[in-house]
Amino acid sequence: MPHFGLMDADSMAPEDAELLRARLHLRAARRRFLQGKVSSGVSVLFDAFMSSLRWYVLSPGRLVSLKVEPGTDINDERNIFEALVRSRVLDGKLSFDYFNQLTEDAVNKKLCNFDYTRVLRDVEDAMTVLGVMPFDERELPQERQDAA
């Protein structure tokens, strides 16, 4: 994973760890796309987005503004996403089901000649609304030269 060796999540507050993980994975996804590693890029982008969702609800100030139905498992990213759409934080332009299936296809190497630009744009837009972006990549831990 792109964050291995670049962060010590155990020594960080959970909210800080999820934010850093989301940003590290977004940077890695962009690099993989530029290298032509589309399947890997989609998988890492999905992880960046899941970290963004978890980061958002780790803040009591943000969580309290969401319309969360009683009994909802707020540790499930799909539930977080649905609450964000229901609360009109996210517009739903990015479909959780589509992105989840796309990631499954990426893991199974079923993405041939896939144009990743739309999904990358939609994820970046959502991450901007959530507050994960923008960020200065120079403030992130430097990647190792052997990073895949």
Contact 3, 21 (CB under 8 A): yes
Give the span between the Cα atoms of 12 and 126, in whole angstroms.
Answer: 24
Q: What is the pLDDT of residue 1?
A: 45
How confident is the model over 69-89, as pLDDT tens digits?
889 899 999 999 999 999 999
Q: Please state, in angstroms and rounded to a whole number, the distance separating the CA atoms of residues 60 and 121.
A: 28
Whether 18 is in a domain gets the answer yes
Q: pLDDT band at residue 24, thresholds of 50, 70 and 90?
A: very high
Residue 147 pLDDT > 60, yes or no? no
Separation between Cα atoms, residue 120 and residue 49, nearest integer Å: 10
Instruction: Please write the tens of the pLDDT for every residue from 1-22.
Output: 444 556 566 677 889 999 999 9
CATH code assigned at 15: 1.20.120
Across the chain, mean pLDDT equals: 87
| 11-15, 59-63, 94-98, 121-125: least confident range | 11-15
Residues shown for the chain? 148
* Domain assignment present for 3: no
What one-character DSSP code corresponds to residue 28?
A: H
pLDDT of residue 144: 64
Q: Is residue 140 in some structural domain?
A: no
Q: How many domains does the chain have?
A: 1
Q: Is residue 46 part of a domain?
A: yes
Is there a domain that residue 4 lies in? no
Q: Containing domain of residue 52, as a range?
A: 9-133
Asked if residue 39 is part of any domain, the answer here is yes
In a domain, 34, yes or no: yes
Distance CA 98, CA 95 (A): 5
